[in-house]
Chains A and B, each alone.
Chain A
């Protein structure tokens, strides 16, 4: 399965790895290529070599990784460098230390003439729709001939081959040979490979014994213990994922030992080998299991070139499929090579900031209010990291949640309590709001059905005496709860409000407002409202959490409200609000800067009373909800890993102004149908900006009975 894409959540999430700038991952999936899935890679060529299926190689191919850029040293009996399935994957710089020349092709007709060619095919046979292909079919083979066609290796030839592998920048060395003794000189060469950050992969041997051959046991010897971090011993399993009878077991080397398919493996053979009738054939042994692991190591080194040998080896061990006794055991050691699992993100995925902070990806989200519209749509991708600090590309759209708020739905849940008293001309009112109750209860009033709160002038329609009227502050439209005190005298009102953005009361919001009303006459007045809004963790009700967190937001807003009564029953009300918001950025956040935000809101309502009955009312309203009209965010996004394994960052500035305007229309009617009983009907229609522009329609009914 293409688990990477989940990765992350439904994605994961995880799509191909983002490379690019700053030396990110070396392999990428071309964006203009058709998307291929694992099944597309299970070709005839793939199926010809059953070991590929056993190690789950198809998934990593679908993710776009096959060892590109990695050189694997094959110390063996020579590699047929002209083999049609290898010729394109042969690195320059090979050498024949048996014959003493630069042609590392095999000679002789011994039983091991094709051994090196076979091993090379398992590692990096070309993917060309012919024969078979290797585990790391984009890697390069550095052929180093140290064994003759009979299969015997002189120690000095192996030592020279290791030196050459180091000088030719091999990142992996395959050693499908072994013996019962090893010279100190050779042991020191293996140690030299270790200090040069090369992964060395050793066949466990075919003695059917309880321990691998001596080369694979080097870390057991004094002075060579460190090799256990980069040296891998490999035992052979069959097509049933069971250890073969002839394979040595991991035994004393179990901590740096793993299993791979080695029985009856189909691969390339030397073209002129008389043992085979074609250019391909099967061989068995830990010699064949070994290159599976070498190829897998090459794939991982190609994917994460900044990781050192020990890190790659650890990943191969930790992600192996456990076989035999649970955990590390004497037979299979760390378990069966599982390449898909090795590429898949492990542990908790984290987001890193340029300051060095790290946050859980799952715990970081962006909750967008409608005032940002769809400006974050198709946002950006960034690198997230697993427990091995491996980078995976993450589509940030997966963390963005859009508020469902035409103003039509959320408010159904509101309840509020108002207490007010008036002494002479001084009025004091206290308002408590909470969205936890489904049914509202107010003093001597019981609401049956829906309660709706928008757009009405509560002074004029008692049946809709809820918290949001045209005179309310648009900048507080998304508060989930609040408490406020209003003190009004003459034409001046002072309001103090303390609210919160979320249901857990965690994002505190405070507001101070001053209103002045100027009556030109009984039929026309203008009200000016100055307000200062302070949000602790949100800005204009947009909540960026954890990795994306923002600092304190301060909004200064001016609202102008006018009311005109051309006739005794007709009332026209209009409001315009504009605000500037300054948001503090935090050094340990992905959001590294937020420019000054400008926002606006306006609405107009026509209200006609006594239309059909006494005290009924018909009204029509248009509203342009609060929207950010100017402003941008700067994001410092992780963008892969540098060569020194540090995280690369790139700055992206994105506007957060909606690309289109949202709007709402409301048509309502309310009338008294009996004494102290009132019925109301409301039709709302709204274009809502979220991840997309949606048209919402809503019909609401309300009946009120006073006791």
Chain B
């Protein structure tokens, strides 16, 4: 029992370690694209709004393939 408990604790520590390490390598931020209204062509514009980090101040459009792009010409509204 005690051994199992130690193994569990060790597993938890190891798990926490990897989680912590992965946080260092990958942004913990979440990319959020906020719609900020249509432009004169009827294209919905978005801006990037990370929850914690700073971000580029460029207008984004939804792309044809479902992602996001700063290129209006490849957006899903053209």
Q: Which 10 A-B pairs have the closest CB atoms?
A: A179-B54, A151-B56, A203-B57, A285-B58, A284-B59, A287-B57, A111-B68, A153-B54, A206-B47, A275-B69
Q: B residues within 8 A CB of A287? A: 56-58
Which has the most chain A C-beta neighbours within 10 Å: B27, B47, B57?
A: B57
Main secondary structure of the interface of A (DSSP, over half): loop
Beyond A281-B71, A286-B57: 17 further Cβ-contacts under 8 Å?
A111-B67, A147-B54, A147-B55, A151-B55, A152-B31, A152-B48, A152-B54, A179-B53, A208-B36, A245-B37, A275-B71, A275-B74, A281-B70, A282-B71, A283-B71, A284-B45, A285-B58
Q: B residues within 8 A CB of A673? A: none
Complex Cα spacing A284 to B71, Å: 9
Closest chain B CB from A215 CB (angstroms)? 7
**CB 8 Å contact bits of B37-50 with A (1 = contact, 0 = none):** 10000000101101
Q: B residues within 8 A CB of A246? A: 36-37, 45, 47, 59
Q: Is A111 in contact with B37, judged by CB distance below 8 angstroms?
A: no
Which has the most chain B C-beta neighbours within 10 Å: A276, A284, A286?
A: A284
Can you give 5 contacting A-B residue pairs, CB < 8 Å?
A111-B68, A151-B48, A152-B50, A206-B58, A275-B74
Contact-residue size bin, chain A (C-beta under 8 Å from the other chain): 35 or more
Complex Cα spacing A264 to B54, Å: 23
Complex Cα spacing A353 to B29, Å: 61
**CB 8 Å contact bits of A248-287 with B (1 = contact, 0 = none):** 0000000000000000100000000001110001111111
Q: Is B70 in contact with A150, judged by CB distance below 8 angstroms?
A: no
Complex Cα spacing A205 to B56, Å: 9
Q: Is A114 in contact with B31, judged by CB distance below 8 angstroms?
A: no
Q: B residues within 8 A CB of A111? A: 48, 58, 60, 67-70
Complex Cα spacing A246 to B36, Å: 7
Q: Is B54 in contact with A177, judged by CB distance below 8 angstroms?
A: yes
Q: Is A112 in contact with B59, judged by CB distance below 8 angstroms?
A: no
Q: Is A152 in contact with B29, judged by CB distance below 8 angstroms?
A: yes
B73 CB-CB contact with A under 8 Å = yes
Contact-residue size bin, chain B (C-beta under 8 Å from the other chain): 20 to 34
Q: Is A177 in contact with B55, judged by CB distance below 8 angstroms?
A: yes
Complex Cα spacing A336 to B69, Å: 28
Closest chain A CB from B53 CB (angstroms)? 5
Complex Cα spacing A203 to B45, Å: 18
Question: B47, B53, B63, B73: which contacts A282 (Cβ < 8 A)?
Answer: B73
Interface residues of A in 78-117 (CB under 8 A from B): 111-112, 114-115
Residues in B lying within 8 Å of A, measured CB to CB: 27, 29, 31, 36-37, 45, 47-48, 50, 52-60, 63, 67-74
Q: Is A150 in contact with B31, judged by CB distance below 8 angstroms?
A: yes
Q: B residues within 8 A CB of A283? A: 58-59, 70-71
Q: B residues within 8 A CB of A148? A: 27
Complex Cα spacing A178 to B74, Å: 26
A207 CB-CB contact with B under 8 Å = yes
Complex Cα spacing A206 to B68, Å: 16
Closest chain A CB from B63 CB (angstroms)? 7
Complex Cα spacing A370 to B67, Å: 81
Closest residue to B26 on the A side, CB-wise?
Answer: A148
Complex Cα spacing A158 to B56, Å: 12
Q: A residues within 8 A CB of B73? A: 281-282
Q: A residues within 8 A CB of B74? A: 275-277
Q: Is A115 in contact with B59, judged by CB distance below 8 angstroms?
A: no
Q: Is A275 in contact with B53, judged by CB distance below 8 angstroms?
A: no
